[in-house]
């Protein structure tokens, strides 16, 4: 089963990397960028009997390793 | 206009970070992980008159800054 997990900074958490990329894009002539925030994506190939089990397992992985839930949100998509 | 850009390693390109995360998950008791690859996601707030212009602009940003197209693929989603 293929899954995609997104880990993004919570709104309000400072994202200096995103700010640097936004500034760089502005310097390159891309004027239209009003905001940019960088996150992580994990493409996971998972052996699970069904989608519910997969989702529970992925949720546990996010809480325990993939995301820092103090400052990050995560979301799970199962293909 | 809100857009999401995914930058992922091309198939076949070694992903030591993904491998390390996979090994860590295995060590934590998550047995079902057959593979994991890490990529980047950019959430971009863009001023553009229409979707075609936005997509062209984002495509140029990916080619020029956000992705290293030698080893990375990118995809664009416009909300």
User: In this structure, what CATH number is given to the domain that contains residue A70?
Assistant: 3.30.1280.10
Contacts of B47-54 spanning 24+ positions with Cβ under 8 A: B47/A31, B47/A32, B47/A33, B47/A34, B47/B1, B48/A32, B48/B1, B51/B1, B51/B78, B54/A32, B54/B1, B54/B3, B54/B78
Mutation for A interface: B18, B26, B33, most A CBs within 10 A: B33
Q: Do A65 and B39 touch (CB under 8 A)?
A: no
Per-residue model confidence (pLDDT) at position A79:
86
Tell me the nearest-neighbour CA distance from B28 into chain A, angstroms: 9
How many other CB atoms are there within 10 angstroms of residue B60's CB atom? 15
Residue B27 pLDDT > 90, yes or no? Answer: yes
Q: Does the pLDDT of residue B7 top 90, yes or no?
A: yes
Structural domain tally of chain A? 1
pLDDT classification of B79: cutoffs 50, 70, 90? confident
pLDDT tens digits for range A21-61: 999 999 999 999 999 999 999 999 999 999 999 999 999 99
Mind listing the pLDDT tens digit for each residue in B31-71? 999 999 999 999 999 999 999 999 999 999 999 999 999 99
**Encoded tokens for A77:** 């998509």
The H or E element spanning position A51 is: helix A51-61
Is the Cβ pair B34, A45 closer than 8 Å?
Answer: yes
Place of tokens 């994990």: A42
Count Cα atoms within 13 angstroms, Cβ side, for B5.
Answer: 26
Domain that holds residue A20: 2-78
Q: Please compute the mean of the pLDDT values over residues A4-19 and round it to a whole number.
A: 97
């Amino acid at each position: 089963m293929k899954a995609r997990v997104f880990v993004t900074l919570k709104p309000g958490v400072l994202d200096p990397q995103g700010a640097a990329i936004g500034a760089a894009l502005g310097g390159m002539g891309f004027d239209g960028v009003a905001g940019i925030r960088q996150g992580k994506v994990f493409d996971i190939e998972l052996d699970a009997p069904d989608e519910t089990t997969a989702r529970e397992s992925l949720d546990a992985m996010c809480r325990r390793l993939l995301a820092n839930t103090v400052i990050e949100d995560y979301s799970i998509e199962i293909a």
